[in-house]
Amino acid sequence: MIALVKTNTENEFQIEHRPLPQLEIDEVLIKVDFCGICGSDLHAASHANGYEFVPKPIILGHELVGPIVKLHPDNNKKELLNVRVVVEPALYCNNCEHCLNGQYNICSNIKCLGLHYDGGMAEFVKVKMDKIHRIPESLPSGVAVLTEPLTVAIHAVQAVGKVTDNMNVLVQGCGIIGIFVALAAKNQGAKVTISGLKKDWESRLKYAEQLGIETEIFEEHSNEKKYFDMIFECSGSSIAAEKGIYRLKKGGKLVLVALYEQEVKFPVNIMVRGEINILTSYACSSSDYQKAFSILDKYKNKIQNIVTIYSLKDGPQAFSDARQQKVLKPILKTL
């Protein structure tokens, strides 16, 4: 099979021929139709701090969709063949304190497809059978590939933020997670604004407006005195995280969804006097996948506009464009 392989060199990729993965009895082989490039893929490719655990060389990719094309000879679940699925990428130990408490997304020994071991930026990938989610017939594969990042947003909005009808919500950052957080909050009935920089408008922020979400340009609203019940910080900017506190109502909540390479310094006295709470959100739960299918199906005609398709062989260019924020959501197509 053909694979896009991340080498030992920063931001370097090679197209290689690899043997088909050999299946264990609890695994299935998926023919990858599409695989998204995630922020964590970009961090792994650039050898960012916090991603030292990623082995090299490696096939990245955990946002994938495709049909199951092969089972282990001793696996009798033949009904799974040719079924289109997306993959829940995290493997949990099921033994740590968090797993035993049902907090699988923060498992102490979590391993992720495409970061700890070879992932979906290839023609084929093997995954555990209990990590697949069947795609509704009405959902095109080119939209279904967005399921996993949408689950991250749903977890932040529903499980962590507990967003309710008519809540005033600001989303900081208009990458794919920010836009999906805004969409998930809108779907909960909240009044949502998403903020980005001037330079983000053409390649990112305008797509939020096309989804019916109110937008603001940060440079034009930096001194605005509109206050929000909740802010979802999805930009990864330490400055944005710090300044977000000043746009919250007293008793408001700041939900950190992004990861930060720079130290974040919060105005603690203001937070204490205003009983402002900081919450954090990481990954998702298995139940979020069905919720994601529902939202994707509802908005599928508009959501198709936010992706940019590249061939697998053009993967290096897709990563370059993503790093330079020329596109909102690059997707690799292996067909």
Options 40, 195, 235, 237, the catalytic residue: 40
CA distances from 230 to 32, 204, 264 (A): 38, 22, 19
Indicate the Cα dihedral angle 253, 237, 112, 133, nearest 10°: 60
| C-alpha to C-alpha distance for 281 and 298, rounded to whole angstroms | 24
Instruction: Tell whether the torsion through CA atoms of 201, 240, 326 and 331 is positive or negative.
Output: negative
Give the domains, in start order, of the chain with CATH numbers: 2-148+285-333 (3.90.180.10), 162-280 (3.40.50.720)
Q: Look up 40 and say whether it is catalytic.
A: yes
Question: Within the chain, which residues score under 70 in pLDDT?
Answer: 221-225, 335
- Predicted pLDDT at 222: 59
Give me the chain's average pLDDT, please.
95
- Predicted pLDDT at 20: 96
- Predicted pLDDT at 39: 93
| C-alpha to C-alpha distance for 90 and 93, rounded to whole angstroms | 10
Closest by CA to 331, choosing from 147, 181, 142, 132, is 142
CA distances from 235 to 86, 111, 241, 260, 313 (A): 26, 25, 8, 9, 29
| C-alpha to C-alpha distance for 272 and 270, rounded to whole angstroms | 6
Q: Look up 62 and say whether it is catalytic.
A: no
- Predicted pLDDT at 49: 87
Options 17, 43, 203, 287, the catalytic residue: 43
